[in-house]
Amino acid sequence: MVSMNELLEHLPPQCLPESLGGLLPWDPGSWNCLLLPARAGKPDPLDDVVLVLAEGQRGSVHKPGAGSMTLSELKEHTNSLGRRGIYEEYEMIRNEKPEGTFSAAMAVVNRDRNRYGDVPCLDQTRVKLKRVNWNDRSDYINASFMDGYLQKNMYIGTQGPMENTFQDFWQMVWEQNVLVIVMTTRVEEGGHRKCGQYWPLSPESAVLYGGVTVANKAAENHQHYRKTSLEISTRQGRERRQISHLQFLSWPDFGVPTSAAALISFRDAVKKEQRRLVNDLGNQWKVPAGGPPIVVHCSAGIGRTGTGTHMGRKHKDSMWSMGKTIQNVLSFCHFIENIDSCKSGP
């Protein structure tokens, strides 16, 4: 046995975790980012362990189908296809007509609620708003439920809110008991408006959106994202809820992040916030155990949103199918915008 001080004499602090007096961060996100450069192009020795654990998870909504494969098989498959083959497979799947209808999205009364008219959401999976006095025109918002691996309706994918849909957005957040909002775009990019400023920017400021008051309590800047702590309440003010707004700042439009480490870090931050806020609710939240849906949006809701909601699937699925996953995303809306987005998950 050696003491902590003796251990530091034999090993450099760069090799030891912070809990043992070293300099290494010991949280999953930082550890994954640290290992990423060394593991590039090499098989992950933990793949088999992760796959076995995933198979034993209860409550999974994932059902492996024809063409499903393990992570190592998927890697071999994509390498054999090459970029051209992947592009052809993507185009074939993308051109398949989704099963379902778009009646609500195409209704005249709702057309101004779509940021992009050619990106409707399906009637079968759309989020329906309750009709209340302060918003009784329609129950429509361009937003769709999306399943996670272990939880049905784990995400809500939506378009970037516009000035005329701010109150719809916050009504949805309130009614669906949302705790975490993930924004994968800036308000403006390349001189173009990508999303409305739907939350108050200044700390300790508040704005009323329809029947929901949103207050900015604090903001933190991180390397690749910004976290804003929000508090929301209804007009009556009897109930106040805490919301974490996480805005990813390292995703170029019409492309993908150059660093997978940035996505890994951001994904872990999102999961951490969801767990923290669910735990803070205590007995107020029962099921599902993973918490209420996480809202994810970019501008159109077709590129970064689809990629962001499926980033974690490759870490959970025992049998994974690129084609089936893309088809699942397309069944909610044409979410995955370009071929590079198919490859951007960590």
- Mean pLDDT throughout 311-318? 48
175 vs 209: CA distance, rounded Å? 14
Residues in Cβ contact with 287 at an 8 Å cutoff, skipping those fewer than 6 apart: none
For 268-281, what is the HEC assignment?
HHHHHHHHHHHHHH
- Which of 67-81, 192-206, 240-254, 320-334 reaches the highest mean pLDDT? 192-206
Set out the domains of the chain in order of their start, with CATH numbers: 8-37 (no CATH), 92-343 (3.90.190.10)
Does residue 182 contact residue 294 with C-beta atoms inside 8 Å?
yes
pLDDT(71) > 50: yes
For residue 19, what pLDDT is reported?
64
If one compares 219 and 150, the residue with the highest pLDDT of the two is: 219
- Band of pLDDT at residue 303, cut at 50, 70 and 90: very low
Across the range 83-112, mean pLDDT stands at 83
Closest by CA position to 267, among listed 297, 221, 224: 224
Q: What is the mean pLDDT of residues 216-236?
A: 94
For residue 37, pLDDT beyond 50: no
* Range of weakest confidence among 163-167, 189-193, 232-236, 246-250: 189-193
Question: Which of 30-34, 149-153, 181-185 is predicted with the least confidence, judged by mean pLDDT?
Answer: 30-34
What pLDDT score was predicted for residue 89?
76
Q: Considering the entire predicted model, what is its pTM?
A: 0.71
What crossing angle do the helices spanning 71-94 and 322-330 adopt, rounded to 10°? 40
Lowest mean pLDDT among 204-208, 233-237, 313-317: 313-317
What average pLDDT score do residues 50-70 get?
A: 50
pLDDT one-digit tens code per residue, 101-156: 889 999 999 999 998 887 888 899 999 999 876 556 689 999 999 887 678 889 99
Reply yes or no on whether the pLDDT at 40 is more than 50.
no
The more confident residue out of 228 and 268 is 228
Phi, psi at 221, each rounded to 5°: -100, 125
* Confidence tier at 99 by pLDDT (50, 70, 90): confident
DSSP state, 159? Answer: P
> pLDDT: is 279 or 134 the higher one?
279
Bigger pLDDT: 48 vs 15: 15
pLDDT of residue 336: 39
Q: In sequence order, what DSSP letters do the residues of 109-152 get, joined into one string?
A: GGGGG-SSTT----TTTBPPPP-BTTB-S-S--SEEEE--SSST
Classify residue 172 by burial, with Cβ atoms within 10 Å: 0-12, 13-18, 19+. buried
β-strand partners of 231: 215, 242
Catalytic (active-site) positions: 298
Residue with the bigger pLDDT between 316 and 106: it is: 106
The answer on pLDDT for 338 being more than 50 is no
Of 110 and 18, the structure prediction assigns the larger pLDDT to: 110
